[in-house]
Amino acid sequence: MSTLLYRWGKSAFAHPFRFLGAWLVLLVVIVGSIAVNAPKLSSEVTINGVPAQEVLEQLEREMPAAAGGAGQIVYRAPEGTTFFDEASAAPLAQSMQGIYEDDNVVNPLDLAGSEQAQAAAQEQMAGQVRAAQQAIAAAQAGRELDQPVPLVVGGELVPGVTISPDGTVAMAQFQFAKQTIDLPAGAIEEVLDRAEAPLEGTDVEVLPGASLQELPEVAGAGEAVGIVVAAIVLFLVLGSVVAAGLPLATALLGVGVGVGGAYALGHFYDLGSMSVVLGLMLGLAVGIDYALFIVNRQRRLIMRERLSAHEATGRAVGTAGSAVFFAGTTVVIALAALTVIGISLLTTMAIIATATVAVAVLVALTALPALLGLVNERIVSAKAREKFEEREAAGVDHATARRWATFLSKHRFIASGAVILTTLVIAIPALDMRLGLPSSENYNSGTDQRESYETVSEAFGEGLNGPLLVVLSSRDDQPVDQEAAGAVLAELGQVKDVASASAAGMSEDGRTVLVSLIPREGPTDPSTETLVHALRDASTEFEATYAIDLGVTGQTAMGIDIAEKMSEVMPIYLGIVVLLSLIVLTIVFRSIIVPLKATAGFLLTILATLGATTAVFQWGWLNGLFGLDSTGPVMAMLPILVTGIAYGLAMDYQVFLVSSMRESWVHGHSGRESVIDGFAHSSRVVVAAAVIMTAVFAGFIFNGDPMIKQIGFALAVAIAIDAFLVRMTLVPALMAMFGDRAWRLPAWLDRLLPDLDIEGDQLLKRLGAKDS
């Protein structure tokens, strides 16, 4: 492998335009495809095989009109007025009429079912009109209402609109004919235009719900700051603007091809914004790091071995490039293992992330040496060569790293204990970790999503921000008995933590009845989760008493189910990763103790990361420092995603750091001496890579999407803990503790294991023999 990469690197250096031209042509094709027909991104999170999704699929079969996405618009009356006044209510009615005239919106009357059911619905609406008129008259007479009332204009009920008890806020809820991601381009904008047109000049404020609002930008100022920090670190490590620019250029190229390609193909699968951002995060982070390892090796070969830039590039790609290939392969395997869990959402995210990392590796091994060929000998200036020779002569190169490794070697027991204790203390909040999906409440203050959520909460209670959809269906081919359905509806309204329950529609054959159920608390409140379980537990009783099957769905129920599903599969995936870690590291380092220590350190990293994430996002500790002003559950997919990604990236640092120690040990140093010598030669670039990766991930903490915030934070914390506490402190201390025993391997196992030669030792031996 190393010999192939050596030849590949030299070829790319000698023929840069061939290699770069191929990448640029591919990038232009991808960009052109996106420009011509860009796919839609979705922020909705669904998962197959959970109860809420199964009920939704049942609705799609039996009552398609009710299985589409939900829309919500909040109207706020001008100061000093209320929607109890006919003058304010009339434009609101016209607004709703415009929405229902849209072909992509389902008229509530279409959900009434058969003609008999529609007649019953009309009679029910007449009763609601009379009750609403009485309540509005009481409010206009100065009495305070204790319940919301439906909107009535000209003696007619406006379906789907509810007015707050004080009359200052109206909330419209309606159903799309399809899920929002499946709507035609511009459909949501058309609905909003129809809603706003009759209200021009009225000073009524229109606040679209989360499903109707534009997704936050995939990347913004925070992400740009992360890249700037990465550029500064690259300059400090590589010592020149030209050298520092190469890893940035190749990382951007890799992201353009990897993430851009996934985006361009988004017409053929459900493409979530979170999948795209995850690919962007990983593509930038690993793209910069992998290129840094190769450029740093090439420059050192030029300065230390006095090789030409051409020869140094070949050797750098053959040696450091081999390690990059192995590290990237490890990340790819760890991410690809997510597909064996059998969850389509994770599979999509894993495929996009895997493809992006694979592209980053290929770019580092092909486009980077081609760029080095364009730069040629200018990659190391004459001043840099002189400075290196001066430091070598003075013996001060790696002095700081050598002192730190020596300190850890002398105080190995104290250092090991301190790191283990620190990570376990940080992990304590994870004992209280609660999984779920963030809601609009978790967006930053001042955003449309947060303002809409808070307006609804203040006017109607938090429960209306997370309604549940209860589906009643007959157990045979006969229509649902209406008396039985009414009894079930009455009982649902009396369930603990239910604010209200009302009929929402019926299928044409009468076999399916919809009930809109409003919890007392918000969608992420623990009581709402308890309510969903209580409803499902009660379904057995309803089946026995009324011969009616009961199912619960809706985005709130979906979030609860996803959290539970992720909790179930997390131990399985963690077991896969631990087993993978032990096997791979045993082959790489030909040792039993090294893989055990590395894997234990990785588990400490994951525990501490989940603890820190719980403390900040669920408990609210230091959340103001990260631009947060609300709390909520930890995103359901986060533990499993962080485990897979952090494992792959942690092994990068393990390989680059410990392989240097092994090389020193193989060349005759004692166990502790090899730790100090290997750490001194490899730690500088590992520290730089960790700082870059942490900065890139941390930039996403300030993204507008609360789920992306959590992923960015968790990955930044994971890399910082793993690199600086585990790899740069715990690993050297434990290696010094075990000494030569760390490298022992049973002879029978040594004969069975393949020689991966990830550092290109065999290549260097062949080149050395050739030179001699």
Total domain count, the chain: 4
Q: Answer yes or no: do 276 and 411 share one domain.
A: no
Q: Which of 367, 397, 427 is the last residue of a domain?
A: 397
Task: Report DSSP letters for 11-77, one per residue.
Answer: HHHH-HHHHHHHHHHHHHHHHHHHHHSPPPPB-----TTSHHHHHHHHHHHH-GGGSS-EEEEEEEP
In a domain, 771, yes or no: no
Whether 170 and 271 map to the same domain: the answer is: no
Please give the average per-residue pLDDT across 268-291, as a whole number: 84
Distances (CA, A) of 609 to 168, 264, 640: 44, 33, 12
What's residue 214's pLDDT?
Answer: 65
- Are 199 and 59 found together in one domain? yes
Q: Calculate mean pLDDT across residues 36-46.
A: 69
What local confidence, expressed as pLDDT, does residue 16 receive? 92
Looking at residue 511, its pLDDT comes to 86
Kindly indicate the confidence band of residue 291, based on its pLDDT and cuts at 50, 70 and 90. very high
Residue 35 lies in a domain: yes
Structure tokens at 306: 């006095």
Instruction: Let me know whether 411 and 501 are in one domain.
Output: no
Whether 501 and 607 share a structural domain: no
Q: Flag whether 311 is in a domain.
A: yes
390-421 pLDDT, tens per residue?
Answer: 666 665 567 788 899 999 999 999 999 999 99
CB atoms closer than 10 angstroms to residue 531: 25
Confidence (pLDDT) at 655: 82
User: Is residue 82 domain-resident?
Assistant: yes
User: Which tokens is 230 given?
Assistant: 């990465």
Same domain for 390 and 411?
no
The string of pLDDT tens digits covering residues 424-446 is 999 999 999 999 988 888 888 88
Vertex 708: Cα angle to 705 and 714 (nearest 5) = 140
Instruction: Give the end of a domain, one of 553, 581, 611.
Output: 553
The reported pLDDT for the residue numbered 393 is 62
Of the candidates 525, 520, 562, the one whose C-alpha atom is nearest the C-alpha of residue 441 is 525
Given 364, 380, 397, the domain boundary residue is 397
Instruction: Identify whether the C-beta of residue 472 lies closer than 8 Å to the C-beta of residue 113.
Output: no
Q: Are residues 393 and 410 in the same domain?
A: no
Distance CA 267, CA 36 (A): 13
Q: Which residue has the higher pLDDT, 41 or 192?
A: 192
Tell me the mean pLDDT in the region 74-96. 88
Task: Identify whether the C-beta of residue 578 lies closer than 8 Å to the C-beta of residue 535.
Answer: no
Which of 36-40, 126-130, 286-290, 761-765 is predicted most confidently?
286-290
DSSP string, 81-122: --TTSHHHHHHHHHHHHHHHTSTTEE-GGGGS-SHHHHHHHH
* 459 domain residue, yes or no: no
Tell me: pLDDT of 639 over 90: yes
Same domain, 376 and 516: no
Residue 591 pLDDT greater than 60, yes or no: yes
Does any domain span residue 573? yes
Averaged pLDDT score across all residues of the chain: 85
CA separation for the pair 43, 697 (Å, rounded) = 20
Query: What is the structure's pLDDT at 772?
Result: 46
> Is residue 179 assigned to a domain?
yes
Q: Are residues 618 and 713 in the same domain?
A: yes
| Same-domain status, 592 and 520 | no
Q: Alpha-carbon dihedral of residues 443, 444, 449, 452, nearest 10 degrees?
A: 120
Say what the pLDDT of residue 130 is: 67
Looking at the fold, whether 533 and 584 belong to one and the same domain comes out as: no
For the domain that residue 662 is a member of, what is the CATH number? 1.20.1640.10
Looking at the fold, whether 349 and 273 belong to one and the same domain comes out as yes
Type of residue numbered 546: Y
Enclosing domain of residue 13: 1-43+239-397
Query: Is position 516 within any domain?
Result: yes
* More reliable by pLDDT, 610 or 116: 610
How far apart are the C-alpha atoms of 151 and 171, rounded to whole Å?
10
